[in-house]
Structure 1
Amino acid sequence: MNVFEVAMKMEDDGKAYYQKLAAQTAHEGLHKIFLQLAEDEQKHHDIFKRLKEKTPTSMQKSTALEQAKNVFETLIASRTNLTIAGDLDGYRHAMKLEANSFRFYEEAAAKEQDAKVKELLLQIAGEEQKHFNILQNVYDFVNAPNQFLAWAEFSNLGEFRNFGRDSTI
């Protein structure tokens, strides 16, 4: 398999994974984010297909980051608490896939002789980095309730306030 065939397979796998995540989430905003990421992966697949066929191609800038920003602004404004703990492993897996894609495309670009193909590989690597950032934000937002201790856990600290102040000593 050549680099374009490997890339098309990676993009197909990414698309299928994002569609799976979209189907698993009940939250409309996250559903949209995952579908946008799946759409981006399809666009990347199509670019690699045209490159393999030696058909001139270019790439449109993704709007996934802007759309994700809007979703997060809405979530924060509404103080929505997402309890999707079961999906955390899925989000971590998706982040790993994006990181691997980013590295793969950067390495392929470093080896590429054709300047136009090299530029496209670097653009796609940049989009994969943006996808990783979106997923990191989703993960952080969904996992936020697990990242702090409840004040009730410190309810026994009152016993230590007077430590050393005992008047009988």
Structure 2
Amino acid sequence: MWAARQWYNAMEAPLSRFVKDAALREELLQRVYLEARLANLPPELVLAVIQVESAFRADAISSAGAVGLMQIMPFWIRELGLPADDLKDPWRNLRYGCTILAHYLAVERGDFTRALARYNGSLGRTWYPERVMRAWQRHWRAPSGSERVTVQR
């Protein structure tokens, strides 16, 4: 509980650039932390993916049809969910995104570069993973001494 609170406090300031509403910011941080932990992902990585994918806009829709915070393609509903799932729901979108990223990380045996490239559909190219990793390092560093999620694949 203490580690989670320390993490929320450290991540709130950088997130305030993107999410102005304090209550929404707190809920988003809680959800990111929970979903990342459930998927065994570093929550800071999830924040970096969201920053790159949608700049924290839950209503974002790409020209390719990807939806929401983590820019999920609608075909994933057939693969992972139920026909009634709404990818515009930010919490459902977050669950899908973390599940998909964790799947790709397992497929790539813990290789973040390859997993992120798969997530983006750009396997074999590094521009997308580099963007996410840069955002992760510049904006979403974990507070020192806090609990880190380790990826064991």
TM-score strictly above 0.5? no
Q: If each structure's helix is expressed as a fraction of its own residues, which one has the higher value?
A: 1
Q: Which has the larger radius of gyration?
A: 1
Normalization by structure 2: what TM-score?
Answer: 0.28
Normalization by structure 1: what TM-score?
Answer: 0.26
Query: Taking CA–CA contacts closer than 8 Å with sequence separation of 6 or more, which of the two structures ends up with the larger relative contact order?
Result: 2
